[in-house]
Amino acid sequence: MKIVHIADEVIETVWTLLEKGSCTREMVKSAHAGSAGYVVDDEVLGGLEKSGLIHFAGSDISLTEEGRAQAMPIIRRHRLAERLLVDVLGMTFEEMEESACEYEHTLAPGLTEAICTLLGHPRECPHGSPIPEGDCCRRAESSVKTFVKSLDALSIGDEIRITFIRKSDPVLVGKLVSFGVSPGKRLKIRQKFPAYIIQIDNTQIALEQDIAAGIFGLKL
Ligand SMILES: [Zn+2]
Ligand SMILES: [Zn+2]
């Protein structure tokens, strides 16, 4: 048996749709059309409005302040779980989706912060959607020691297992991956100045400083 928190599922959908631009009753209903074990119809949506989580304007739906406050940690857990599953556990996008949905309801707050810190307070999920900040991210600036470090926080001779690449330019990320710089790979720092030289398997690659700063891994 599986308990479905319909209100949480719906406000999560509303959040995601609003992020993409717009959210209507029809969009929310069809987003849940294939869901197993529950239905989202006008009655459910009306109930959520009565509980003060969503607001209607014609066919448009928005989140109330309370709705946002309730949805935010769910979105955060879901997207952090995605990062964990893909970057650290090496799952594919398909395998990830189902597990991430489980985690968003079961991760305890302390564990969520630990995962966020382990991952180096990532700002985006693997799909490129923003991860809402938690207390740990605001505290973390530079004082909290994270287990996952970027190349510029490491020394010559250090080895890491790459966990993720934080770069907004997908072309650049694609290029790095084609050189073998991808999550799961072992990387050794050979030189830091005037440019970074890293070694992966038997290949050495020269990188500019700002690119190196966006490559994160677990120190081995
Ligand atoms: Zn995502
Ligand atoms: Zn954080």
Structural domains of the chain, with CATH: 6-63 (1.10.10), 74-139 (1.10.10.10), 148-219 (2.30.30.90)
Alpha carbon 48 to chain centroid, angstroms: 27
How many whole angstroms from 217 Cα to the centroid of ligand 1? 20
Average of per-residue pLDDT values in the chain: 86
Contact 154, 213 (CB under 8 A): no
pLDDT for the residue 2:
56
Write the single-letter amino acid at 191.
Q
pLDDT for the residue 200:
94
Which three-class secondary structure state does DSSP give residue 26?
helix
Burial 46-59 (b: 16+ CB within 10 A, else e): eebeeeebbeeeee
How many whole angstroms from 19 Cα to the centroid of ligand 1? 12
Give the pLDDT mean for 150-169. Answer: 85
Give the pLDDT mean for 23-51. Answer: 92
Give the pLDDT mean for 51-63. Answer: 96
Count Cβ atoms below 10 Å from residue 94 Cβ, excluding itself.
7
How many whole angstroms from 151 Cα to the centroid of ligand 2? 19
Q: Taking the complete model, does pTM exceed 0.75, yes or no?
A: no
How many whole angstroms from 115 Cα to the centroid of ligand 2? 8
Q: For 35, list phi and psi in degrees, rounded to 5.
A: -70, 140
How many whole angstroms from 21 Cα to the centroid of ligand 1? 16
Write the single-letter amino acid at 19.
E
Closest CA to 40 of 66, 12, 68: 12
* Helix (H) or strand (E) run with residue 187 in it: strand 186-191
Percent of the chain topping pLDDT 90: 47
**pLDDT over 50 at 142, yes or no:** no
How many whole angstroms from 72 Cα to the centroid of ligand 1? 14
How many whole angstroms from 114 Cα to the centroid of ligand 2? 8
Give the pLDDT mean for 208-220. Answer: 87
Query: Structure tokens of 156?
Result: 């010559």
Which three-class secondary structure state does DSSP give residue 57?
strand
pLDDT for the residue 143:
44
pLDDT for the residue 168:
63
How many whole angstroms from 146 Cα to the centroid of ligand 2? 10
How many whole angstroms from 81 Cα to the centroid of ligand 1? 9
pLDDT for the residue 4:
65
Which three-class secondary structure state does DSSP give residue 100?
helix
CA 87 – CA 183 distance, rounded (Å): 6
Residues bordering ligand 1, an ion, CB closer than 5 Å:
82, 125, 127, 129
Top pLDDT among 218 and 47 is at 47
CA 200 – CA 202 distance, rounded (Å): 6
Top pLDDT among 145 and 158 is at 158
Ligand nearest the Cα atom of residue 123? 2
How many whole angstroms from 63 Cα to the centroid of ligand 2? 24
**pLDDT over 50 at 64, yes or no:** yes
How many whole angstroms from 116 Cα to the centroid of ligand 2? 4
CA 178 – CA 106 distance, rounded (Å): 36
Q: For 23, list phi and psi in degrees, rounded to 5.
A: -145, 120
Q: State the pLDDT confidence band at 174, using cuts at 50, 70 and 90.
A: confident
Give the pLDDT mean for 115-125. Answer: 86
pLDDT for the residue 144:
45
